[in-house]
Chains A and B, each alone.
Chain A
Amino acid sequence: MNEYLQLMKSELMVILIIFILMFIKLGKGLPNGTLLSLVQLLLLINVAVSFGFNETGRIFNGMFVHNELAGFQKGILSLAVYLISLLCSDWLKDHEHMPEFFMLMLSALLGMFFLVSSDHLLMFYLSLELASIPVAAMANFDLERRKSSEAAMKMVMSSALASGIMLFGISLIYGISGSLDFATIWGSLRNEPLHIMAFVFLFSAFAFKLSVVPFHFWTADVYEGSPVAVTAFLSVASKGAVSFALFNILYKLFPNLSAPWYTLVVVLSILTMLIGNFFALRQDNFLRFLAFSSIAQVGFILVALSGQNSQVISAVTYFVLVYVFSNLAAFGVASVLRSQLGIENISQLKGLYKTSPALAWALALGLFSLAGIPPAAGFFGKLFLLMAGAAKGNYWFITIAALNMIVSLYYYLRIVKLVFSAPDGEQVQEVKILKPVGLGLVICSAGIVLAGIVSWIYDHINSMV
């Protein structure tokens, strides 16, 4: 029993928070402001619980595996959720269904935790569903906006298709090996047509969740329509968790098929970077822009995943950590502007610096880091990804990836330039930065500056692999 408590501490913590929220909702309830602060506090505790004291072990007949690295990854996801709860305070504090929103988000987080820890295909499937269905419900949370419901519908339908394909793949694997346990399956998978087909089906479902081209079509519509908090959650926490899981799939389940999947990952990675960048160049809607830029970022994660060496997972984990800080800084600013001023387009950001320099700096820092400019942490994130990928010796591929960094620089700087240019005509109105939002932006900025310079972080991740 003690072992279960120890290994599942983060999962139990999340369940506990969900129950607390449920009791509050069922009982007299609390004023929204107080409740929000309470949830933020609980989520902070959750971050501490996830990062601290991680033991190694397997429970539930080996279905659930926990170790230091998994603990760290869960910590990153918890951190992302905590930051979202801070940064989206503007929107959350007035929402009549705030407890439900958190219950759904935490359920999805729970799904992600199980996803990171699962070592069994059934568990894998269930946790992936748990991680995505609540998000579809969350996408509908801007109740009066039609686009929000549309986003939810699109998300649910597309996910159902992906899940169906994935189940097909899983059933093929079961047919081949007669088992669903990673440890027994991988030996029986070989480089044969049926096995490859099973792999492609399984992989496509992940590619869908990660918005890898050509499975990315849902992304822009859903990102644009959903509330900013949900978009942030999808693009940071969801992408992070699925990247960790994809590593497990590629390296634990299909190591015998590494030759065919290497080609696939390389080709899709190039496509993803190119398409993501091309679309991002022309977007004017800020959230759609972030959606496409996050597609391009996923392309870089695939670069590392193609590497087939021990550096891959530490590079990916580190990158996701940095990505949490950088992307959430941008989303935080987007959320404040959308809830207070209704700003949705990039062109409306013109002259933001004049009225709210703090927001402008936070946004610029986040974009610099996303563009991978040293010494912002984003540069080291990209560097480690590229180095992990380069170990394979495919230099053309790495050069293409590096050239894509320059293209992305072009559009990230375009926004920085707009933000700092003088407003012509009507100015961006002044915004009020709530305390939690300020705290969130400070954490993000500090993370961007420090995660690169403090070498201890990468060392620490590396030591856990």
Chain B
Amino acid sequence: MNPTNILLIPLLPLLSFVLLGLFGKSFFKTKAGLVGCSLMLVSFIIAVVTASSYFFSTGLQNGQYQQLKPFIMPWLKFANGLVIEMGLLIDPLSMIMIFVVTFISLMVHIFSLSYMKGEERFHVYYAFLGLFTFSMLGLVLSSNIFQIYIFWELVGVSSFLLIGFFYQKSSALAAAKKAFIVTRFADLGFLIGILLLSAQAGTLDFLELISKLSTPGDTLTSALATTFMGFSALSWGLALVFMGAAGKSAMFPLHIWLPDAMEGPTPVSALIHAATMVVAGVFLVARLYPVYAFSGAGFVHFIDDIGAFTALFAAIIACTQTDIKRVLAYSTISQIGFMMFALGQVPPETNGAANLGYTASIFHLFTHAIFKALLFLGAGAVIHYVHSNEMKDMGGLRKKMPVTHAMFLLACLAIAGIPPFAGFFSKEEILLAAWENNPTIFWMALVTSGLTAFYMFRLYFSIFWNKEPEGHHHHEKEGDIFLLAPLVILGIGTVVAGFVPFSQLVSADRKPFETELHLQFSIAPVVVGLTGILLASWMYRKHSAVPENLARNMGGFYKAAKNKFYIDELWLGFTKGVLFNLIAKPAAWFDRNIVDGMVKATGSGMEWISYRIRGVQSGKVQQYGLFFLFGIIIIVSVYLFKNVPWR
């Protein structure tokens, strides 16, 4: 393990940021994209070489993957001996993550060459992409919990910059601000959690911290013994750290920023809001997994419930959206919910060793990154083509965009959990883990799977089948090689990623283990998935105007058509009346008014108070003098009359 090589992985995107930020306008101009892409390509190649050499030669020793710290340097020194370090932590988790991040980032870099062509601030866009990639890589490679916080915030800043990239749109700026404030609020909890955990463990280093807080000993005893409002210091620390994770990973009720964040350029949504940044929360919980699994037994159930609820909740909302990026956004929230509750499937007897949930969660993170990036880039290609985000402006695109259509279909099949595509394998493992631990969660997840298949194919049929909307006749070409190549590469990834023997690579105790497919078990999820697809196909493949035409032209078919129409209405009535109006609409309303409103109310409440007290500031100097004296008199009298306690 050569530390310089590994350092290059994050530093090359940083170089891209610095070069393009400083000289982008004057020197590189339209070549900025090529500079960004080539630096990213080199970074990706090094990441692949590093990860494969770790997994296939150096990493595995005595049947367990090693945790290595090839690079460490002291960074901030406090007087009382506390030193904050900067370093790299190499283990299966971080190796999988650098692969995911560099791969998706490279695809997005290439895709953007075509997608963002002609933008006025083309070079700035690439500079920000470089900054984001650097921060994300720094985050996944962090060797201590403070360092991860710094990169965590840096990721937030670059996401802020990229969401607000189209700064001419006021909605984009509002979304950027909202995302930043919501996640910052969560990060406040994270920071306090870090300080608490590190104070208990006496260290900031991940490996030491984990070993101290997940093995019985004095540190653990005292961390459990110190209590605050009925919970131990350890529980508080873990809960607060989870708050940060929930904010970044858009868990209910902190998910409100993610759908709005879709205001950013679509490739950015693919990179940040689908594949990498939003899974940072899952990564964080996975990073501290031994502590959560061993010491936070009660808390793990909470993670479980939050994850499963978020998955279901977001899936229901996704069925009602008409903006295709918002459908994908809610779908992302739902899928991260899957990863989160999978992490919570800790079998009680093994104390976190070699369990399926952990592996399944990271596996799903891996496959989801690929097929969700594909979905977003595909959606980007569609948006690029029809110049709209709304489903009603789309339809019948399968003949005009054959490549996009094929790739989008692959990704939809993958997310619906149809074998042999990537999503099938990872979702299967998650469901199995849930089945073995917590059947309630399993049933919730099964329903969610069905909904997932339904809304994804609703999206698919509305975009590519159905009827072309009136007045929209597009005759341009589908897109150039830069637009299509990433789609095809990700499409291939969607087919092969499921066959990666993941349990051989990543497991909770870093020991490879065998998993097998249980065919009988797979029947239920696949059947549920297929049902969802069929339902969507029935409702959305053809437009409801078709029966009307048929009725006019061919009288014989009239009755059948009407009948179909009737059933269609019935289904629509059921979905609209029951599913949409009774469940989804209230859910969306709850989401918009209560959850969102709470956040807004905090802000406006404070504005109200500030408006009230402004009258005090009158501009009269005599009054100011009077207030000054009053201040002193109050302080002195408080002291004089309450003096006794301090004597």
The interface of chain A, by Cβ under 8 A from chain B, is 153-154, 157-158, 161-162, 165, 191-193, 196-197, 200-201, 204, 208, 214-215, 217-218, 220-221, 259-260, 264, 275, 277-279, 281-282, 310-311, 314, 353, 368, 373-375, 379-380, 387, 390, 395, 399, 402-403, 405-407, 409-410, 413-414, 417, 420-422, 455, 458-459, 462, 465
Contact = CB atoms under 8 A, between A and B. Distances in A.
A260 B181 contact: no
Contacts of A277: 606
A375 B170 CA distance: 27
Interface of B: 74-80, 149-150, 153-154, 157, 164, 167-170, 173-174, 176-177, 180-181, 184-185, 188, 191-192, 195, 228, 603, 606-607, 609-611, 613-614, 616-617, 619, 621, 623-625, 627-632, 634-636, 639-640, 643, 646-647
8 contacts: A193-B640, A204-B632, A215-B631, A217-B628, A259-B646, A402-B188, A402-B192, A455-B75
A420 B79 contact: no
A311 B240 CA distance: 26
| Chain A residues touching B, majority SS | helix
Contacts of A200: 632, 635-636, 639
Nearest to A462: B79
Given A413-B177, A421-B173, A214 B630 contact: yes
A462 B81 CA distance: 12
A281 B167 contact: no
A406 B184 contact: yes
Given A374-B154, A413-B177, 11 more contacts: A157-B621, A157-B625, A161-B628, A165-B632, A214-B630, A218-B621, A277-B606, A311-B80, A409-B184, A420-B164, A455-B77
A201 B632 contact: yes
B170 A422 contact: yes
Contact of B153 (A373, A387, A403, A422): A373
Given A161-B625, A165-B632, A197-B639, A409 B181 contact: yes
Contacts of B607: 281-282
B624 A154 contact: yes
B241 to A, nearest CB: 15
Contact of B77 (A196, A409, A462): A462
B190 to A, nearest CB: 11
Contact of B167 (A153, A260, A264, A421): A421
B173 A406 contact: no
A197 B636 contact: yes
Given A204-B631, A314-B79, A158 B639 contact: no
Most buried by B among A208, A353, A375: A375
Contacts of B185: 406
Contacts of A282: 607, 610-611, 614
B606 A420 contact: no
A208 B627 CA distance: 11
Contact of B613 (A260, A264, A278, A390): A278
A294 to B, nearest CB: 15
Contacts of B619: 221
B77 A278 contact: no
The 5 closest A-B pairs by CB, nearest first: A217-B624, A214-B631, A278-B610, A422-B168, A374-B153
A41 B647 CA distance: 55
B639 A279 contact: no
Nearest to A165: B632
Given A220-B617, A409-B181, A421 B632 contact: no
A353 B188 contact: no
Contacts of A204: 628, 631-632, 635
Contacts of B167: 353, 420-422
Contacts of A458: 76-77
A170 B169 CA distance: 59
Most buried by B among A191, A264, A380, A420: A420
Given A278-B609, A281-B610, A196 B170 contact: no
A281 B606 contact: yes
A429 to B, nearest CB: 19
